[in-house]
């Protein structure tokens, strides 16, 4: 049985492992060293600033989603590369959609599979910019609950 729950302190290392593996796979247009150098800021800064939820099956973490609650920003969504395509990402996005009327995110334009995934989840491209850290084009996407 698959469950979604608030991340616990002992979930951080498996989350970081998934984050690094998935980042290297999805962002092959950015040097691998960039991601390796982001591990400590991810652990000490980004994850603690976010509300984090994990999706688990029999105590195995399959992926996680992170939300910056003040701005309704979906800051991270990462699924173990071996588990991608099984619907876990959609389950995590749906979990947040049940709680919020709008969600916003930034995604690299070259990460076309993620852009397509978010579009399938009802996110629309609002604007395009450049990520200051990598110099890569990124898309600002938003989802709004329909009023019908």
Kindly report the CATH number assigned to the domain that includes residue 100: 3.40.630.30
Rounded to an integer, what distance in angstroms lies between the CA atom of residue 8 and that of residue 15? 10
Rounded to an integer, what distance in angstroms lies between the CA atom of residue 22 and that of residue 10? 20
> If you average pLDDT over residues 82-99, what whole number do you get?
97
Q: What is the CA radius of gyration of the chain?
A: 15
Range of the domain at 119: 2-144
pLDDT tops 70 at residue 104: yes
3-class secondary structure, 83: helix
The pLDDT tens digits of the residues spanning 51-83 come to: 999 999 998 999 999 999 999 999 999 999 999
C-alpha dist (Å) from residue 43 to 61, 96, 146? 16, 22, 35
What was the pLDDT predicted at 130? 97
What was the pLDDT predicted at 42? 96
Give how many domains the chain has, as a whole number. Answer: 1
């Amino acid at each position: 049985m698959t469950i979604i729950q608030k991340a616990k302190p002992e979930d951080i290392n498996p989350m970081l492992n998934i984050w690094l593996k998935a980042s290297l796979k999805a962002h092959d247009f950015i040097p691998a060293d960039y991601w390796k150098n982001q591990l400590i800021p991810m652990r000490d800064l980004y994850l603690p600033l976010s509300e984090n939820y994990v999706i688990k099956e029999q105590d195995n973490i399959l992926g996680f989603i992170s939300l910056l609650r003040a701005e309704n920003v979906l800051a991270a969504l990462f699924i173990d590369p071996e588990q991608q395509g099984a619907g876990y990402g959609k389950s995590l996005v749906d979990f947040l959609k049940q709680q919020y009327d709008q969600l916003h995110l930034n995604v690299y334009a070259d990460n076309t599979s993620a852009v397509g995934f978010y579009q399938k989840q009802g996110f629309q491209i609002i604007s395009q910019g450049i990520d200051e850290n990598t110099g890569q084009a990124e898309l600002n996407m938003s989802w709004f609950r329909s009023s019908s």
